[in-house]
Structure 1
């Protein structure tokens, strides 16, 4: 193997190791939990305001902004999540995912998607736009319901909030939920007094409180922050790079929201796209996602309305794809995306039969080994031929030792004469290296593998082996393959090859256990393949 290629591979893996060891916080180990449903997520075709019974708003008392009213909380339960809404502004206070936990074990708590600000701001605050903006954040709303409980038998249900501003404008906010998915439909109806014109538009807001103690918002592994699909591409805005405190998208906005490595909360317009979306950093600890839309005249006259879809759940590629709106684009494996996503789909397909992602990884490794067998066989023959040429190469070095240019010419002539490629032994490693890196990102950033168990002590394939057994076995198997591989006779290169198992073992100590299993199984298959090739060549 060429020394420069070998060093390039080692240094590349070393960079991955250092990033994983020092920039990714270690995961806590815990028993797995059952994942959420991945069925199709339909968008309601009927306007939400028509689903529930109309209420009489005329008798509802108007309240100016900021006046204190007793807060009422409305609880919503579905098989996939539980939510709590507040009558103060008709806002969302909690949204907990029942099938996903912050850590393994009994101490694990359901993932909480909502984090209000210290001054009491929560998602779904509404701003109406007339000559100047009028914020309806703390206007009290009335809700006749105390709770809503959806089961698999009861597919859909809704919660209605009614309110009136100080100038007599009537507001109706309706939220419709489904027991089968993580999608919610939001409809807002606005009815001003006859003496006042209809508002030009409305802004609905997602509020995200930043917690720098728990999250690394500048991490290079796994984006955390506001995102929008606009102008035909995914836009992920690093919080520290928000220009002048805000950034606006006004063309082809298909969705906008906030994401972390595994979860996403996003507004989904029910037409061709939002009029605009604005990402605002109001202070060091608060980010707002403001979605602006023009109001549409109601068929009942004298009122306007707008409606949104809202997704709040896991970044599962099948679930996101079923929603549409380019929501699945939020899963981005960077420069290895073209390899990583097919690998993820193949793993998910194999998992349908194995019901275990560890066995799915092993099955995929075997298939890849079979596919690359002709290349490996050719590589081995090239290395064997190179070893046979060592006496001639040694003689050339003695003869032209002081003339480097002539030595290189004579060595190339020798390679051409015997049809030997000096880099042929590197090909299998170079071909597998992109797959290795793609696997790394899949295992590190796919929620399908988060807390996914294998066997025995390995209960999270996306976390490192807590007992370091698999990395040690991987290093031992790599040492065996190195001893079985033909050498070129270069003592320096031979020492490097023998040192590689030690280097790789230490690097793999903190790698995802699923990735270590892939490399370990690949080495074991390589040993048997080498025995087979040796027999055929002999």
Structure 2
């Protein structure tokens, strides 16, 4: 009975991990193992993919209806492109709307093609992802579809200069002109965006500024099928905190998030990278929309601002687009670091990353920092582990007696159970004593799993020799092979269940789950290998002290 209980615990634990992984896939819009989803078609872009957006075009007589396309789209004219280059960014803007339509991250290598840089924003047949802004209000106003004039100026950050800017000026619509200026700064992934509204009319104007991010619903190129991270819009407010919005809910029209607040931001999140519009404190409205087939938007709209005839009003905004470097995100806006998605274990993952970052500051190598962090965790949980391994060692020591008893009394199950319980009492053995201490530690190691999976700092970070990038799989599968061998050695050190079927399961399950690690990032596998080796050393030491072979 107790052997069966122990086996059931292991099976439940293993299946829980598998179901957790499968459920996480489904939660993030990935195919389920039990019900794989059909591949999603590529984003269907119109003739000009830049000429779309989810923000409506209010008029003097009709209220805004989410999802409507601004009426200024009637006849798109030809537009010009201009690219600004800094030490970190190559940003391409389109004069139609003055939109940011392509963003190359010059210090981030594409892991699918190391000869290229990461392209975050893009407007191509394969990708649709861009940032837009404009005005809405009574009558026709300059918006993200309006063809603007480019103000000539420098396009490359000069040596010794701190910033480079580009401005776009709209034609006059309903007596209103919009001047939009982007300023890129040295060493920053944040772009300052100034919107100057000039009222040349004879009556006061009441425009509303909107900013939005538009993206197709496809996962990032090269995303692994063995693990998944969230891809999609996010909304943050001080009250509701970080709210992920799945593309499928926008598709159905039932996306649930706080619609109005006096603060907050919007973002598009994907593995390792994010973009976000950041506005000063003040009332705002949050909106999402399905723009077209497999194309979605998330937007913020500010309240109408009265601009007197002959006056100019300025709306300030910032656009972040870059890697999810936690410390830098924390400094930009409250809660922005949450785009680095730790899932359910954020409360544990954040302090673990803090400690990992401190260790890296001392050691200077992310691989050895991972090893050091696992060592510290094993030290912290030493007495819990010692209790578990001591219990397992005692179980292994009395295992021959238990097996002999089961064979001798196999036709008398009641007597067999009584005799087994007597042996456990005499030897002071708790059959489940080896499981409970381990279960207590599981949340910490799952949290560390998400830290290593989510941290952009692992990209292109070498460890030793053949491991030149901790965020991709081991090219020679050395770490996964070591992990498989260490897992099997751990299984051998544990007491063998008397039941032959249960005994086989103990060997099969580690092999099955080890296969997944052949495709996991090397940093994750390094963490498991280190944990396994330290566990084996501690278990062997305790077995030796108790005279268990």
- TM-score, normalized by length of structure 2? 0.78
Secondary structure in structure 1 of the residue aligned to 2:281: coil
Cα drift, residue 187 of structure 1: 1.9
Partner of 1:32: none
Partner of 2:185: 178
- Are 1:439 and 2:443 counterparts? no
Rounded to whole Å, the distance in 2 between the matches of 1:379 and 1:406 is 28
Partner of 1:468: 477
Partner of 1:449: 458
Cα drift, residue 79 of structure 1: 1.3
- Are 1:502 and 2:529 counterparts? no
- Are 1:10 and 2:14 counterparts? yes
Residue pair 2:97, 2:133 contacting (<8 A) in 1 also: yes
Gaps in structure 2 of 5+ consecutive residues: 32-71
Aligned length: 496
Rounded to whole Å, the distance in 1 between the matches of 2:9 and 2:156 is 61
1:519 and 1:5, CA in 2 relative to 1: closer, same or farther beyond 3 A?
same
Rounded to whole Å, the distance in 2 between the matches of 1:104 and 1:206 is 25
Partner of 1:81: 89
- Are 1:110 and 2:132 counterparts? no
Partner of 1:61: none
Residue pair 2:96, 2:146 contacting (<8 A) in 1 also: yes
Residue pair 1:297, 1:305 contacting (<8 A) in 2 also: no
Moved more, 433-442 or 209-218: 209-218
Pairs within 5 Å for 1:324-335: 324-335=333-344
Which one of 409, 431, 450 corresponds to residue 422 of structure 1? 431
Secondary structure in structure 2 of the residue aligned to 1:364: helix
Partner of 1:229: 236
Rounded to whole Å, the distance in 2 between the matches of 1:478 and 1:121 is 43
- Are 1:317 and 2:314 counterparts? no
Cα drift, residue 151 of structure 1: 5.6
- Are 1:158 and 2:183 counterparts? no
Rounded to whole Å, the distance in 2 between the matches of 1:86 and 1:261 is 26
Which one of 261, 266, 279 corresponds to residue 271 of structure 2? 261
Moved more, 253-262 or 423-432: 423-432
Residue pair 2:396, 2:495 contacting (<8 A) in 1 also: yes
Deviation digits for residues 223-244 of structure 1 (CA, Å, limit 9, x no counterpart): 1122211342222222122165
Secondary structure in structure 1 of the residue aligned to 2:102: strand
Secondary structure in structure 2 of the residue aligned to 1:365: helix
Cα drift, residue 355 of structure 1: 2.6
Rounded to whole Å, the distance in 1 between the matches of 2:278 and 2:344 is 27
Moved more, 147-156 or 348-357: 147-156
Cα drift, residue 340 of structure 1: 2.5
- Are 1:525 and 2:529 counterparts? no
Deviation digits for residues 134-176 of structure 1 (CA, Å, limit 9, x no counterpart): 4533434333324333367322343332233243322222222
Secondary structure in structure 1 of the residue aligned to 2:460: coil
1:429 and 1:152, CA in 2 relative to 1: closer, same or farther beyond 3 A?
farther
Partner of 1:386: 395
Pairs within 5 Å for 1:298-309: 302-309=311-318
1:276 and 1:456, CA in 2 relative to 1: closer, same or farther beyond 3 A?
same
1:6 and 1:279, CA in 2 relative to 1: closer, same or farther beyond 3 A?
same
- Are 1:144 and 2:151 counterparts? yes
Cα drift, residue 279 of structure 1: 0.9
Partner of 1:481: 490
Cα drift, residue 510 of structure 1: 2.3
Residue pair 1:114, 1:208 contacting (<8 A) in 2 also: no
1:88 and 1:385, CA in 2 relative to 1: closer, same or farther beyond 3 A?
closer
Secondary structure in structure 2 of the residue aligned to 1:167: coil
Moved more, 343-352 or 296-305: 296-305
Cα drift, residue 322 of structure 1: 1.2
Partner of 1:189: 196
Rounded to whole Å, the distance in 2 between the matches of 1:216 and 1:15 is 20
Secondary structure in structure 2 of the residue aligned to 1:270: coil
Which one of 317, 325, 343 corresponds to residue 352 of structure 2? 343
Secondary structure in structure 1 of the residue aligned to 2:115: coil
Deviation digits for residues 51-101 of structure 1 (CA, Å, limit 9, x no counterpart): xxxxxxxxxxxxx97677663433211111111223332222322111123
Rounded to whole Å, the distance in 1 between the matches of 2:73 and 2:496 is 80
Residue pair 2:199, 2:307 contacting (<8 A) in 1 also: no
Secondary structure in structure 1 of the residue aligned to 2:491: helix
Which one of 82, 100, 103 corresponds to residue 108 of structure 2? 100
1:101 and 1:387, CA in 2 relative to 1: closer, same or farther beyond 3 A?
closer
1:117 and 1:137, CA in 2 relative to 1: closer, same or farther beyond 3 A?
farther
Rounded to whole Å, the distance in 2 between the matches of 1:495 and 1:211 is 41
- Are 1:205 and 2:218 counterparts? no
Partner of 1:90: 98
1:453 and 1:310, CA in 2 relative to 1: closer, same or farther beyond 3 A?
same
Secondary structure in structure 2 of the residue aligned to 1:197: coil
Gaps in structure 1 of 5+ consecutive residues: 25-63
Cα drift, residue 214 of structure 1: 4.5
